[in-house]
Amino acid sequence: MLSQRLKPLEWVIVDDGSRDRTPEIVEGYSSKYPWIRVVRLPGSERVRGGHIVRLFYEGYAALKAGNPDYIVKLDADLSFGPGFFKKALDCMARNPGLGITSGISHILKGETLVEEKSAEGHTLGACKIYRVACLEGIGGLVEAMGWDGIDEIKARMRGWEAWPVPGLKVIHLRPEGRAKGLFRSGMERGRGSYFMGYHPAFFALRALKCLLKSPLDGLGMAAGYAGSLLGRKERIDDAEFIRELRSSQVKRLFHRERA
């Protein structure tokens, strides 16, 4: 962050009960750079979804910089080059309709950097850059699994664009699922798909594709979705959103819309 050609007005690091030297390291930097601050929380289980959004808002509430144009949500397991933010924000400045963007996730396989697979055009949840007007226009982030897909769909429903900056690389140092195991990670994604209101046929094909690629991941997805369905778990309370999502998914099933 210190090497960025375009530095943030403020960088708030939310420490969710770290047991290592994280607070000490951050406070050491913040004593030299007043725009770096740490918010310390008592700590809780590492859970994807709503918990991540709550941590994001803990940091957002602690901001002292008034009326920023852009807000960035970053995970701690990322690395990027010194031109990262300048390139991203230059892209947003050239396109006032771009409400959400990110870099494109890459992982190291041996000594080779390869792109991490995701849906085409999907902005990376680990690294989201929001135009504040867009974030406020969609009513903020939903505290649930799938939040990083819900925000994009809501943005497009309200006339904003959402896509990653072409060629803007982010190195993801701990790929999705590695921390918890593929089955548990898949279960979380299955529950998230249910919460978002995925079209059943679209979800079935998605889970099958994951099953063929990684059996534990695909089985976890199916189990998470089925468990939520049988348990009649809560779904997003937004019928317009679900209609838009399912309409898009049906078009994708028939190759009438790019992923």
Q: Is residue 98 located within the same domain as residue 208?
A: no
pLDDT value for 177 = 52
Q: Is residue 153 located within the same domain as residue 212?
A: no
Q: Is residue 158 located within the same domain as residue 32?
A: yes
Predicted confidence band at 145 (pLDDT cuts at 50, 70, 90)?
confident
CATH code, 73: 3.90.550.10
C-beta separation of 95 from 143 below 8 A = no
pTM above 0.75, yes or no: yes
**C-alpha–C-alpha distance, residues 79 and 124, integer Å:** 13
What domain range includes position 237? 181-259
Strand segments, DSSP code E, in 158-258 are: 161-162, 169-172
pLDDT value for 47 = 63
pLDDT value for 176 = 60
Query: Quick check: 259 pLDDT over 50?
Result: no
Predicted confidence band at 244 (pLDDT cuts at 50, 70, 90)?
very high
Among 161, 176, 191, residue at a domain's last position: 176
Any idea which of 3-7, 172-176, 214-218 has the lowest mean pLDDT? 172-176
Among 148, 176, 204, residue at a domain's last position: 176
Quote the mean pLDDT of the chain: 90
Strand partners, 11: 36
Q: Is residue 213 located within the same domain as residue 138?
A: no
Predicted confidence band at 46 (pLDDT cuts at 50, 70, 90)?
low
Residue carrying structure tokens 């929001």: 130
- pLDDT, tens digit, for every residue of 84-119? 999 999 999 999 999 999 999 999 888 889 998 777
Order of all β-strands in the sheet with 112-115? 78-79, 169-172, 104-109, 112-115
Among 124, 153, 176, residue at a domain's last position: 176
Burial class (CB in 10 A: 0-12, 13-18, 19+), 91: middle
Mean of pLDDT values over 182-205: 92
Burial class (CB in 10 A: 0-12, 13-18, 19+), 151: buried
Query: What token pair was written down for 66?
Result: 């008034």
Mean of pLDDT values over 190-198: 93
Q: Is residue 27 located within the same domain as residue 110?
A: yes
Query: Quick check: 29 pLDDT over 80?
Result: yes
* DSSP assignment letter at 116: P
> Under 8 Å CB-to-CB from 230, ≥6 apart: which residues?
none
Share of the chain above pLDDT 90, in %: 72
Query: Quick check: 17 pLDDT over 80?
Result: yes
Order of all β-strands in the sheet with 70-74? 70-74, 127-131, 98-101, 161-162
Query: Quick check: 50 pLDDT over 70?
Result: yes
